Chains A and B, each alone.
Chain A
Amino acid sequence: MWTAMPDRPEPPGMDRTSEFALSVDDLTVAYQEKPAIWDIDLEVPEGVLMGIVGPNGAGKSTLIKAVLNLIPRAAGTVSFYGKPYERARSLVGYVPQRGSVDWDFPTSVIDVVTMGLYGKLGWFRRPGKRERELALFALEQVGLVDFVDRQISQLSGGQQQRSFLARALVQDAQIYFMDEPFAAVDAVTENAIVDILQALNKRGKTVLVVHHDLQTVAQYFDWVTLLNVEVIATGPTAAVFTPENLRKTYGGQVASLNGGILAGAAGG
């Protein structure tokens, strides 16, 4: 179902049955009048595995937070499958940056994973046996089944990231937002996470990942958005992840990057 914006006529020729998993329209977020992201237009088709790439301070995390209504928007609209966020909560899964929480919090791994189900439970209802089973299943998928009752501070960084991933998996969402899931994890964990993302993608889920490492973009993602306050380019990786676009995104910085990335990009 495509709901047209009231103040903006539906573009002619728009196929009514095709819908985007996420449409962002003219989104601007400012921190004290300094724009963090500027006039973002973004349309993400259903079922893509998309990397959001850009230099430090490009507004990648800000984009995710603004889309999920976690920070105030200065302007713009966002819709998920044609619905505003308030009516699409159950379709959306979110994995914040690992550093955004206190891992010394007195709780266990399974408890953290169960938190992903709180949204479905709603106010007042407590998680029960069914929720525990769902959480266990998610922990199995991320390979943490031996750590179920561990205090979360006793996990390694990679294991913490995986528990966050399990928490998103139990949400059983249609579209996932992941804020730097590969930050400070070792190669083994990174591969495990990529496997999970691709498995999600195979099941038809749309996955958006804030990513830092240009070397792996072409390998991991079939769709990419290059961001530097504004959207520089967005589309299939093969078409968009070009030397030209990277130069626009990173400015002079890209000159010092080795040609392998761009060659890899061209090959991807």
Chain B
Amino acid sequence: MMPLERWLIELLLNFVTREELNAFLRSPQNTAMLVGCLIAVSGALLGVFLLLRGMSLTSDAISHTVLLGIVVAFLLMTEVFGLHGDTSSPWLILGASLAGVGTVLLTEMLYRSGLVKQDAALGLAFPLLFAIAVILVSRYVEDAHLDEDAVLVGEIGLAWANTNSHCFANCESVTVAPDHEAAKFARQCNNCRELGISPRDERAVFSETCSNCGEYNPAQAWSAGLLEREPVLVFFPKSITVMLLLTLLTLGFVLVFFKELKLSTFDTGLAQALGFRPGALHYALMILVSLVAVGAFDAVGSILVIAFFIIPPAAAYLLTDRLAMMLLLSPLIGGVGAYYGYDLARGQLFSFIAVADGIAVLNRLFGLSLPEEWDSSISASMVLMIFILFLLAWALSPRYGLASTLIRRANRRRVFENQVVLAHIHNHQHTTAHDIELNVDHLHEHFRWTERKMSRVLTGLRALGYIRIIAGSAELTDRGDRQVHAFRKTMLEAHNIPDLP
């Protein structure tokens, strides 16, 4: 990962100065927004396929059970191999993706037993694995990078602080050994605790240890005051690298296997018959979901990450009926949501409405005394903002949205009412009873409509030039006559009803 970061920094340094880059990366806001957007983009891309495969909640299961993979890999590293446990180590990531695939396998095994339904199988498998993970954490892992809070909402606001340092000039590493001039020593009682005595007791045995011996990379050496010349450093947040890699991996996967993913998602049987490997693609997808869930774990926790997988595709699904477009809109919605979600956490709705003002209005209206300053969880606000975007799509989508559905339904009803009245006039206008059947004052009685509704429909039909009213009796114009025939032709043809004479 380090060489990749270095390459990226060198690339960026062609466009900005080192000071600007450091200033940008050391701002909690920039890093949080960047990481949030990357999580949203990668999650939203994968989420499209999860949604279309009817397995959105699998992301929920996986985002929890990756904890088991992380813990097991952590224990293996520290206890068995004696390595230093670091949550961004490739071993933890490998463990997590295995746990993700394991969850899917376990779920499928339970389901295939024929004894539990699919949703129940998922509900059985993942709490089990999660419970094992929690027990292992509480029993063996004291180093708290895996506490409950992190599991809930993550710490995206602190992502800027966890960095790799890269040195570009004056790079001097220092090794402090006990004979080094800067070495500091501390006296320590060796047997005080064992014997339960104070260090002043005469039985106490002391030894001297070097408290600051070890390897110092240039950044550490400079901050410990071991260097005379300041090294030229860039501090790069690890989360950005991890999420950037995962986003590129996801994007590459979706672009390269677009056709194969589409076919195997739409029609697994045909995909298999044509010699593609829907099973392999399925597990590749699950591995990617696990990887993104792990990558996002530090930043947004294992619960809120689900929202990044589910909400943007659900919104995109309402806005388009082409897969390619959905794959474009979904990450866009996720990214925009994450970006403005940060603002929301800091009290700005879409950067022009201050949340504080809204609360002030509430306070005035209802005599409340809610605190007006607004500073809330960043990850939760990102999820909230993505959901607000979903609501907008749900209400306003041109084809499937609430508003357009209501308008369309009202339109259809109006057209239908018009046609019913026109057909009635057509059927009766040349019969002997036409003065009874077509009397405009009594027409509503034949339909059992209210007088108001009938007069509204008649007014509309006259305005359209379909009917005229002669001596209190309705009759079709030529235009109206043509309309009746056209309607029959288009609407009733499917049912094989012959055209009128």
Contact = CB atoms under 8 A, between A and B. Distances in A.
Interface in B273-304: 273-276
B267 interface: yes
Interface string A122-165: 01111100000000000000000000000101001000000000
A70 B269 contact: yes
A118 interface: yes
Interface string B255-280: 01011101101110111111110000
B266 A127 contact: no
A86 B272 CA distance: 11
Contacts of B61: none
A3 interface: no
Nearest to A179: B269
B52 A102 contact: yes
B317 interface: yes
Contacts of A127: 259
Interface stretch (A105-113, A222-230, A246-254, A255-263): A105-113
A107 B326 CA distance: 10
Interface in A88-120: 89, 92, 94, 96, 100-102, 105-108, 112, 115-116, 118-119
A69 B320 contact: no
A100 B274 contact: no
B275 A106 contact: no
Contacts of A184: none
A121 interface: yes
Contacts of A115: 262-263, 266-267, 270
B45 to A, nearest CB: 15
A252 B42 CA distance: 59
Contacts, number: 74
B76 interface: no
Contacts of B273: 68-70, 89, 92, 94, 119
B114 A96 contact: no
Contacts of A89: 273-275
A100 B267 CA distance: 8
Contacts of B110: none
B357 interface: no
B270 A94 contact: yes
B266 A101 contact: yes
Contacts of B274: 89, 118-119
Contact of B262 (A32, A94, A101, A107): A107
B323 interface: yes
Contacts of B276: 118, 123
A118 B259 contact: yes
Contact of A96 (B54, B260, B267, B322): B267
A89 B258 CA distance: 22
A105 B266 contact: yes
A180 B310 CA distance: 35
Contacts of A100: 267, 269
B408 to A, nearest CB: 14
A107 B259 contact: no
Interface string A6-29: 000000000000000000000000
Contacts of A94: 269-270, 273
Contacts of B275: 86, 89, 119
Given A70-B272, A124-B256, A108 B322 contact: yes
B279 to A, nearest CB: 11
A32 B269 CA distance: 21
A127 B270 CA distance: 17
Contacts of A112: 266
Interface core residue of A94, A116, A156, A167 (most chain B CB under 10 Å): A94
Contact of B114 (A32, A107, A125): A32
B49 to A, nearest CB: 11
B321 interface: yes
A5 to B, nearest CB: 23
Nearest to A152: B321
Contact of B259 (A69, A96, A108, A126): A126
Given A92-B273, A119-B274, A123-B276, A106 B52 contact: yes
Contacts of B266: 101-102, 105, 107, 112, 115
A68 B274 CA distance: 10
Nearest to B48: A106
Contact of A106 (B114, B269, B326): B326
Given A115-B263, A118-B274, A107 B269 contact: no
A36 to B, nearest CB: 14
Given A89-B274, A102-B266, A118-B274, A123 B260 contact: yes
Nearest to B274: A119
Contacts of A32: 114
A106 B259 contact: no
B270 A106 contact: no
A101 B52 CA distance: 11
Interface core residue of A106, A118, A121 (most chain B CB under 10 Å): A106
B259 A105 contact: no
Contacts of A126: 258-259
Contacts of B323: 105-107
Nearest to B496: A188
A156 B271 CA distance: 24
Interface in B314-354: 317, 320-323, 325-326
A88 to B, nearest CB: 11
B272 A69 contact: yes
Contact of A151 (B256, B260, B262, B321): B321
B62 to A, nearest CB: 22
12 contacts: A89-B275, A105-B266, A107-B262, A107-B323, A108-B321, A115-B267, A116-B270, A118-B260, A118-B271, A123-B276, A127-B259, A153-B321
Given A89-B274, A156-B494, 5 more contacts: A100-B269, A106-B323, A108-B322, A119-B275, A167-B270
> Which 10 interchain pairs have the tightest Cβ spacing?
A119-B274, A151-B321, A106-B321, A94-B273, A96-B269, A105-B266, A101-B267, A106-B323, A89-B275, A68-B273
